[in-house]
Structure 1
Amino acid sequence: MNYDTFVDQVALRARVPGERAVELTRATLETLAERLTGGEVLDLAAQLPKPLQLVLRPSPDTEAADRFGAAEFVARVGQRAGLDERAAREAVRAVFTTLREAVTGGEFDDIVVQMPRDYRDMVEPALAPGAAVPRRP
């Protein structure tokens, strides 16, 4: 999936303009990079378009995953993107669903395995049959 398609899919799913979808994607991926091990971040980045790879570039101090729950994940995304909790949760769902569509070879499943159960309400919509098909308003 190319960058423009990724952003367009997030925009459609989150019901926001393209510029805002870029911000939501960046905030979610930056937070995801903090939550995953460095190796998993690199595996994920390898399957994404260049602009998204740059967001996911791990640093030496991010080799180990920062273990935080879903509420903290949503709070970090909300802080980065200037969103309240409900809007941040919806943004994360939109990005996760698009991410699942964009990667191959079980990479999304590898990400999900690193997430505790409290992430379920954000991750399961991305795993549901038909989740990759965005709904038009």
Structure 2
Amino acid sequence: MEYEQLIATVRRRAGLNDEEAERSVRAVLSTLGERLAGREADHLAAQLPDRLDQFVTRNPQGRRWDVGDFLRIVGQREQCADADLVRQHAQAVLATIAEALDDDERADLLAQLPGGIIDLFGVPAPRG
């Protein structure tokens, strides 16, 4: 998926303009990357358009955030205080990211996340 297509998809799904969609994508990607352990953030970034890979935070230990913490941090980074809007934006971004990843990478990514965050992707949870 190309950068413009990814932003347009998020914009449409979340009802945002281009600037808001870009800000939401950056907020979600940085928070998601920080949540991932090992090299999973690098693997995620490698499958994103070049203009987005830089926003995936790398944290080899990974943070242990639940969905509430995840959304709170996304909201802070997005500068959005409305929890319902933050959830809507995060769902739009994560569903779009899920579509952009190949099956193996999507499964590896979801395997590191708790159920509440997986639910935001709108895809079935990986089977263990």
Partner of 1:109: 107
Cα 1:98–1:36 change in 2 (3 A) is: same
- With structure 1 as the length reference, what TM-score do the two structures score? 0.84
Check if 1:54 corresponds to 2:54: yes
CA–CA distance in structure 2, aligned partners of residues 122 and 111 of structure 1: 13
Q: Structure 2 residue aligned with 1:73, among 70, 74, 84?
A: 70
Identity of aligned residues (%): 34
Shift of 1:57: 4.9
1:92-107 residue pairs with structure 2 within 5 A?
A: 92-107=90-105
Do the aligned residues in 1 keep the contact of 2:71 with 2:86 (CA within 8 Å)? yes
CA–CA distance in structure 2, aligned partners of residues 38 and 52 of structure 1: 19
Shift of 1:121: 3.2
Is there any run of 5+ residues in structure 1 with no aligned partner, and where?
129-137
Tell me, what secondary structure is at the counterpart of 1:98? helix
Tell me the number of residue pairs that the alignment of Structure 1 and Structure 2 aligns: 123
RMSD value, Cα: 1.3
CA–CA distance in structure 2, aligned partners of residues 53 and 37 of structure 1: 16
